[in-house]
Amino acid sequence: MLELRKDIFADERDDNLKEIGKGTQRQDMLGHVTGTSTYFDDHKLQGMLHLKVVRSTHAHARLRRIDTSEAERSAGVRRIIRGSDVPRNLNTLLSLINFGKDDEPSLAVDKVRYKGEPIVAIVADSPREAYEAMAKVRIDYEPLPAVLDVEDALKPGAPVVNDTYPKNAFIYHDVYDHQKLRFGDVERGLAAADHVLEQRYQMSPIEHAPTETNGSIAAPDTNGRYIVYTSTQALFFSLDTCAKILDVPSNTFHFIGGTVGGGFGGKVDTLTEPLSILGAMLTGRPVRYLFGREEEMQYGPPRGAERIYIKDGVMRDGRIVARKIRAYFDSGAYTRLSSYAAVKCAAHLPGPYTIPNVYGDVYCVFTNRTPATAMRGFGVTAMDFAIECQMDKLAHLVGMDPMEFRILNAYRDGDMKAHRREAKNTALIECVQVAAEKAKWPIREEFKRASSRKEGGGSRAAIPPTPRESYAPATAPSQQRTTYDRAPATSREPPSPPPPPPPRPLAPSHGAARFSSVFGTRRR
């Protein structure tokens, strides 16, 4: 039975809501239960061809030679597509909002950087004929050392995964190899704490496992335009990505989405549309490109794996006085969306708790693994898992009830968050109280009486003095080079100058300047 606690924050909410608590028919339910919902793959077009992709069998290798001559003669083959056929064969998804550098080819040209990377696309009359031609493509690989661990990837001398980012870390604002959060003096906080607990948390990649695999059908239309039926969960994002890769105006395409048979973040990467459209452009026929189940599971992008270190200082009375976090997001071989996940993660630290000394370093790291992408709360989910595990361990360490421990440390209205924003409309205490009550979990009277709206602010609203870090001039590791990691380093690179200070806000001419973690400083 749904129960709304309207009394708790009655004056903070416009209470003219009319939907919650009522039965409402989902708009797509009738089609689903009667089996009539239309998916992109329900379009069978006259003369439709089928596209399949030959994928890398190595995690990291140089492509010495790609021989498609026998495949071209294979029965039913209409066209073989190589990297050189792709008009702009380098892209990064968030380039549409000017974030990150183009680093990922649609079809690999000189190197493959993860097992399963697309190398050659085959367009044939039937899926079967495409599969038969795939078996006839000869690829001569020169295997290179691969790096599959985020911390190994950041070590000097690690193989360079992605030449666009030669230090194997995404670069923010052209300068920073990680996202940084500093609030107070974490080292002093740890030194003054009664207990210090440091733990390591390692997540796994998680596959979205949609019932409908990624796919699209592109068909030539009149006037040089193309109609694209697609499973994408981000229709116009995919459209603009295709326009960029294929180097045509975006009004060249008419994208038709519809029912997405399971997305969860696994259908934003626009993996099939550029090639199916290119296939249609090169053959003048409708072209269908649909992932097989193994392709989806093995090479469809997963939620990235994160490695998280948390070091907390806690007092005997249960107050957390310092939290130091290092996190490494495994982006796989290319950027996709993990760069943004790291921003979200840094913005989430130190969780919904008021801690006077917080330190966070969050890295987006390249490894020779399948590129990772969005998935439900990515950037936050794994960090929350780690933080909440840590909270339970800390409660145990100081001999406190874990629910009461959270109420004690929860942020309250008026507190200063580590991002130097005042906490407003906080409600963690009330959530914990209700959870304890529903679970019949006994908590003491003083914790039952605690409120998010009492005892916040005051000294808790202060921004503590935060020491500036003295920058040791960074020396570029001599083993890391920008091109293929084969030639020995001849000389040590000169030490690079210290990074320039963060851009100062310009004097506002129209409205106030604000800082965005993604865009840097920009005017409102």
Partner 1 sequence: MSVTVRTFTSTGEAAAVLSSDRSARYLGGGTLVMRALNEGDISISTIVRASDHALTRIDATGSRIIIGAGVTFARILAERDLGFLHAAARSIGGPAVRNMGTVGGNLFASIPYGDFTVALLALDAVVSVQGGLGSRDMPIEEFLQTRERQTGTLVLSVSFQKPASADAFRYRKIARIKPKGGAVITLAAHLPVSSGRIAGARIALGSMAPTQIRARAAERALEGRTLDAATISAATAAAVEGIAPADNALASGWYRREVVGVHLRRLLSGQE
* Residue with smaller CB distance to partner 1, 131 or 484: 131
Alpha helices in 351-410 (DSSP H): 381-398, 402-409
In the region spanning residues 70 to 109, those forming contacts with partner 1, defined by CB under 8 A, are 75
Q: Does 126 bind partner 1 (CB under 8 A)?
A: yes
Q: Does 516 bind partner 1 (CB under 8 A)?
A: no
In contact, 20 and 6? CB cutoff 8 Å: no
**351 Cβ partners below 8 Å, 6+ apart?**
383, 384, 387, 388, 391
Beta carbon of residue 294, minimum distance to partner 1 (angstroms, whole number) = 6
d(CA 45, CA 291): 18
* Residue with smaller CB distance to partner 1, 294 or 493: 294
Beta carbon of residue 125, minimum distance to partner 1 (angstroms, whole number) = 10
* Residue with smaller CB distance to partner 1, 129 or 361: 129
* Residue with smaller CB distance to partner 1, 117 or 129: 129
Instruction: Select the span of 125-133, 160-168, 196-204, 384-392 touching partner 1 (CB under 8 A).
Output: 125-133
* Residue 145 in tokens: 């050392």
In the region spanning residues 210 to 239, those forming contacts with partner 1, defined by CB under 8 A, are none
* Residue 361 in tokens: 């370093």
Q: At 509, phi and psi to the nearest 5?
A: -100, -40
Element (H, E) at 254: strand 253-256
Q: What is the DSSP letter of 253?
A: E
**Residue of 31, 127, 205, 477 that binds partner 1 (CB under 8 A):** 127
Q: Does 131 bind partner 1 (CB under 8 A)?
A: yes
* Residue 75 in tokens: 């029965």
* Residue with smaller CB distance to partner 1, 293 or 419: 293
**Quick one: which of 376, 372, 214 has its CA closest to 301?**
372
Q: Would you say the C-alpha torsion 83, 87, 90, 92 has a positive or negative sign?
A: negative
d(CA 128, CA 426): 58
* Residue with smaller CB distance to partner 1, 254 or 293: 293
Beta carbon of residue 201, minimum distance to partner 1 (angstroms, whole number) = 22
Beta carbon of residue 51, minimum distance to partner 1 (angstroms, whole number) = 13
In the region spanning residues 292 to 331, those forming contacts with partner 1, defined by CB under 8 A, are 292-294
* Residue with smaller CB distance to partner 1, 50 or 58: 50
**Residue of 52, 55, 178, 267 that binds partner 1 (CB under 8 A):** 52
In the region spanning residues 274 to 293, those forming contacts with partner 1, defined by CB under 8 A, are 292-293
Per-residue CA distances from 316 to 357, 386, 398 (Å) = 17, 22, 6
Q: Does 28 bind partner 1 (CB under 8 A)?
A: no
* Residue with smaller CB distance to partner 1, 273 or 296: 296
User: If you count DSSP H runs as helices and E runs as strands, how many of each does the chain have, helices first?
Assistant: 13, 17
In contact, 396 and 361? CB cutoff 8 Å: no
Beta carbon of residue 450, minimum distance to partner 1 (angstroms, whole number) = 41
Q: Does 39 bind partner 1 (CB under 8 A)?
A: no
Beta carbon of residue 292, minimum distance to partner 1 (angstroms, whole number) = 5
CA dihedral 368, 115, 246, 303 (to 10 degrees): -60
Fill in the amino acid letter for 208. Answer: H
Burial of 264 from C-beta contacts in 10 A (0-12 / 13-18 / 19+) = middle
Beta carbon of residue 136, minimum distance to partner 1 (angstroms, whole number) = 10
**Residue of 103, 132, 312, 430 that binds partner 1 (CB under 8 A):** 132
* Residue with smaller CB distance to partner 1, 215 or 356: 215
**Residue of 73, 128, 376, 424 that binds partner 1 (CB under 8 A):** 128
**Residue of 134, 144, 281, 372 that binds partner 1 (CB under 8 A):** 134
Q: How many residues in the chain?
A: 524
Q: Which residue has the tokens 């073989």?
A: 80
In contact, 297 and 252? CB cutoff 8 Å: no
Beta carbon of residue 291, minimum distance to partner 1 (angstroms, whole number) = 11
Number of residues near partner 1 (by CB under 8 A):
13
Q: First CA to last CA across the chain, in angstroms?
A: 45
For residues 438 to 477, the per-residue mask of contacts with partner 1, x marking binding by CB under 8 A and - elsewhere, is ----------------------------------------
**Quick one: which of 303, 321, 300 has its CA closest to 312?**
321
**Quick one: which of 344, 336, 365, 342 has its CA closest to 267?**
336
**8 Cβ partners below 8 Å, 6+ apart?**
427, 430
Beta carbon of residue 75, minimum distance to partner 1 (angstroms, whole number) = 7
Q: Does 135 bind partner 1 (CB under 8 A)?
A: yes
- Binding residues for partner 1, per CB under 8 A? 52, 75, 126-129, 131-132, 134-135, 292-294
